[in-house]
Amino acid sequence: MQPVTMHVREGIAHVVIDSPPVNALSQPVRASLADAVARVEQDSQIAGVVLSCAGRTFVAGADINELGAPLTPYLPDILADIAASRVPWVAAIKGTALGGGLELAMACHGRIAEPSAKMGLPEVSLGILPGAGGTVRLPRLVPMTTAITMITAGKPIDAKAALDAGLVDILAETDLLSEAEALLHDLPMGIPLLERPVRDADAIDWDAEQKTLRKKSQGAQAPLEALAALHDAASLSAEQALAAERDRFLRLAVSDQSRALRHVFFAERAAGRSLRDLQAEPADLSCVGVIGGGTMGAGIAVALLLAGSQVILVERDEASAAKARTRVDETLTASAKRGVIDASGHAAALDRLKTAQDYGALTDCQLVIEAVFEDMALKREVFARLDAVMPASAILATNTSYLDVDALAGTTAHPDRVLGLHFFAPAHVMKLLEVVRGSATGPRALATAGALARHLRKIAVVACVCDGFIGNRIMNAYRNDCEFMLEEGALPQQIDAAMESFGFAMGIYKVQDLSGLDIAWAQRKARAATRPADERYAHIADRLCEAGRLGRKTGRGFYDYSDGKPKVDPEVTAIIEEESAKAARTRRDFTEREIIDRILTVMQAEGQAILDEGIAESADDIDVVMITGYGFPRHKGGPMWLTRG
Ligand code: 3H9
């Protein structure tokens, strides 16, 4: 069957794209669409066209598997034919119209959308820019400021915002297709879109836009190319701007950054597939227990509340429970400020939170997540108590970031229901969920982790038990090596600058100061007894902790925060130089390239060891962990990708 079908009813042709799962414009879809466009032109009985899609969504864009390959029939040519059609076309949008899908809709003469629909040009997230006229058509429909935000940030907007901006003509009230037909009758043919001027381009300070974007994109090329294409749209004829957009698109489509970003796109979707493929019935997530209402516990509770679950949060006493509730409330307030929920959503979420001091309050929960302090004895006690009160069918998870999940499971009578769910702070924002599979973890516990990730819209990556699992194990390895570089002559600010210019959101020393140096200090102390005597060990971080420099929370860590911002501190430099001398290292200069090469080499070696030991399911999973949990630059594809790229 053809992926694009056409049937004519009372002079209106219904052209329907049907190519699951997301109606991407693959070569067969484009060929079939081009054929439908030609048939419309030849059939004089047809007075108008409604273009719609089967399934759950309008077109989600070009087929990402085909980017960088020969593109015939070429989408911009098909869109030019639609725009020049002798009859009006109306796009009927549901689900999402993204990338080439939105460009297709913009080539039509009118657009109607379901109120729940979303529209966007997310190409920059794939290292390209809209390549089928998006940068030229969008600023002729919406104000240039809106076009700049939509195209350079790649974030979709909802139907109401699209209506307000002028991207769609009306929102459907009851039936999308019959209202699309009605719109066809009402549509004035007017001036063709490409002959209209761009909207409000005079208000733009292009140099300032470029400066801000350069800073924000941290080395990613596509957003800057997209901005340049929009500048072309404002300053050249439509025909010239379309040709310039095409050149930029073809160049970016074969770039290293686009290849890396496409790799990440598919790696993120493949992550945790083993959890989805399990036959076991996951636990019900309508009511979830959380033990501990500190930063992590409260964040996990907020993530669950925002997803619609009821949460029973257990704290050791009434005062701690009250503090936890306040923490949750404050986080919900911040979420409301960011537009994630409205006031009634905030109130409803808070209503779904119950606090308790007794584990007996948890017995209706099929999943309990423990998020108490990282202390093995304390966690063992929690698990023993949970095991005693919870029905055998309930799943018990620990949010530990490095402790032995098997040792915790060993304290229970049903180790098959125990697993690790390593959330990242802030837990209601960060996308990554490391699912730690113990040696006895059963399929129902794993299926529940998969269901939880979907419920919370997170990316699950499966790891087996080892110290630090995937992410923290790799981070510990390169953090150690960074300390060795400090001993050998580098300074924290140089290492941070090198990492940031590579594209990390933040250098390792700013990250440590932000999260606090005490957790890793406790970890090092716990390991001290078993550390081989001949293992190289740098004492710099320990010295800072001993001096009370625990990071931002104490106003001092690797940097001084007395002015709020990280400032180089001579006291830290002195400690580093003393430690170099004690370790008998001759200090020397490091180049940025050398620093980055060393960090990458350590990450890749540790990643390879993790794969060889069977801790991670794939190299792609390691890339996903480092990008979504540890600030590795997305447009570089991840440490393991770089060994292949
Ligand atoms: C573009 O349009 C360039 C043009 O400007 C120029 C042309 C000349 N292609 O995300 P999901 C697969 S660039 C191929 O899990 P959801 C995906 O891999 C494109 N495959 O579902 C997955 O496969 P699997 C610009 C695609 O409901 C399955 O579909 N467009 C594509 O959570 C389900 O995906 C974009 O960047 C694709 N375009 O979210 C949009 N899209 O089951 C990218 C999806 O084997 N897509 N797949 O793992 C999305 O953002 C989300 O998929 C969407 C649905 C929101 C649509």
Q: Quick one: residue 188, left, alpha or beta (phi over 0 = left, psi -120 to 50 = alpha)?
A: beta
pLDDT in tens, 185-241: 888 778 999 999 999 888 899 999 999 999 999 899 999 999 999 999 999 999 999
Contact indicator for 226, 123 with CB cutoff of 8 Å: yes
Domain ranges of the chain: 4-254, 281-464, 471-614
Q: Beta-carbon neighbour count of residue 208 at 10 Å? A: 9
Backbone angles phi, psi at 422, to 5 degrees: -90, 105
How many alpha carbons fall within 13 Å on the CB side of residue 448? 28
Q: Beta-carbon neighbour count of residue 334 at 10 Å? A: 14
Average pLDDT, the chain: 95
Q: Beta-carbon neighbour count of residue 508 at 10 Å? A: 22
| Tokens linked to 21 | 């799962």
List of residues 6+ apart from 202 with CB closer than 8 A: none
Ligand 1 in contact with 138 (CB < 6 A)? no
Average pLDDT for 254-272: 97
**Cα gap 543→549, rounded to integer Å:** 9
Distance 60 CA to ligand 1 centre (A): 6
Ligand 1 in contact with 132 (CB < 6 A)? yes
Q: Which CATH number fits domain 471-614: 1.10.1040.50, 1.10.150.250, 3.90.1150.10, 3.50.30.60?
A: 1.10.1040.50
Ligand 1, residue 76: give the atom nearest the CA. Answer: 8
Percent of the chain with pLDDT over 90: 90
Task: Tell me which amino acid residue 16 is.
Answer: V
Distance 22 CA to ligand 1 centre (A): 7
Q: Beta-carbon neighbour count of residue 512 at 10 Å? A: 25
Output the 3-class SS for 596-610: HHHHHHHHHHHHHHH
| pLDDT the model gives residue 82 | 98
Percent of the chain with pLDDT over 70: 100
Contact indicator for 607, 639 with CB cutoff of 8 Å: yes
Question: Tokens 């800072």 appear where?
Answer: 544
Burial class (CB in 10 A: 0-12, 13-18, 19+), 425: middle
Cα angle, residue 176 at apex, residues 120 and 87 outer, rounded to 5°:
80
Question: Which has the closest alpha carbon to 243: 344, 133, 334?
Answer: 133
Tell the residue nearest (CA) to atom 50 of ligand 1.
60
Output the 3-class SS for 205-251: CHHHHHHHHHHHHCCCCHHHHHHHHHHHHHHCCHHHHHHHHHHHHHH
**Cα gap 388→383, rounded to integer Å:** 9
- Residue of 64, 225, 455 to test ligand 1 pocket, by largest number of atoms within 8 Å of CB: 64
Ligand 1 in contact with 272 (CB < 6 A)? no
**Cα gap 191→271, rounded to integer Å:** 48
| pLDDT the model gives residue 523 | 82
Q: Quick one: residue 99, left, alpha or beta (phi over 0 = left, psi -120 to 50 = alpha)?
A: left
**Cα gap 469→467, rounded to integer Å:** 6
**Cα gap 32→1, rounded to integer Å:** 10
- Consecutive H or E run containing 93: strand 89-93
List of residues 6+ apart from 234 with CB closer than 8 A: 139, 144, 198, 201, 204
Distance 241 CA to ligand 1 centre (A): 27
- Consecutive H or E run containing 203: none
List of residues 6+ apart from 243 with CB closer than 8 A: none
pLDDT in tens, 122-141: 999 999 999 999 999 999 99
Question: Which has the closest alpha carbon to 305: 323, 283, 280, 324?
Answer: 324
Average pLDDT for 339-364: 93
pLDDT in tens, 103-116: 999 999 999 999 99
pLDDT in tens, 496-513: 999 999 999 899 999 999
Backbone angles phi, psi at 463, to 5 degrees: -130, 150
447 three-class SS: helix
Tell the residue nearest (CA) to atom 27 of ligand 1.
22
554 three-class SS: helix
CA end-to-end span of the chain, whole Å?
Answer: 38
Contact indicator for 549, 517 with CB cutoff of 8 Å: yes
Tell the residue nearest (CA) to atom 44 of ligand 1.
22
Is 123 among the catalytic positions? yes
Across 379-414, b (16+ Cβ under 10 Å) vs e yields: bbebbebbbeebeeebbbbbbbbbbbbbebbebbeb
Contact indicator for 32, 78 with CB cutoff of 8 Å: no
Is 571 among the catalytic positions? no
Question: Which has the closest alpha carbon to 282: 416, 371, 395, 440?
Answer: 395
| Catalytic entry in 114, 123, 179, 209 | 123
| Catalytic entry in 10, 41, 66, 103 | 103
With 80 as the cut, is the pLDDT of residue 272 above it? Answer: yes
pLDDT in tens, 374-402: 889 999 999 999 999 999 899 999 999 88
- Residue of 22, 123, 246 to test ligand 1 pocket, by largest number of atoms within 8 Å of CB: 22
| pLDDT the model gives residue 190 | 81
ipTM beyond 0.95? yes
Kindly report which listed range (177-191, 274-288, 407-421) carries the lowest average pLDDT score.
Answer: 177-191
Cis bond before residue 139 (omega within 30° of 0): no
**Cα gap 47→49, rounded to integer Å:** 7
177 three-class SS: helix
Ligand 1 in contact with 130 (CB < 6 A)? yes
- Identify the residue with better confidence: 335 or 16: 16
Ligand 1 in contact with 626 (CB < 6 A)? no
Distance 80 CA to ligand 1 centre (A): 24
- Consecutive H or E run containing 585: none
Second CATH level (architecture) for the domain 281-464: 3-Layer(aba) Sandwich (3.40)
Q: How far is CA 241 from CA 202, 322, 398, 534, in A?
A: 17, 59, 55, 64
Distance 533 CA to ligand 1 centre (A): 52
Second CATH level (architecture) for the domain 4-254: Alpha-Beta Complex (3.90)
Tell the residue nearest (CA) to atom 40 of ligand 1.
60
In sequence order, which ranges of 459-591 are alpha helices (DSSP H)?
Answer: 471-488, 492-502, 508-515, 518-528, 540-546, 570-582
- Residue 645 confidence class, pLDDT cut points 50, 70, 90: low
Contact indicator for 452, 433 with CB cutoff of 8 Å: yes
Contact indicator for 595, 494 with CB cutoff of 8 Å: yes
Question: Tokens 């997170």 appear where?
Answer: 458
Average pLDDT for 147-162: 97
Output the 3-class SS for 255-284: CHHHHHHHHHHHHHHHCCHHHHCCCCCCCC
**Cα gap 87→85, rounded to integer Å:** 5
Ligand 1 in contact with 99 (CB < 6 A)? yes
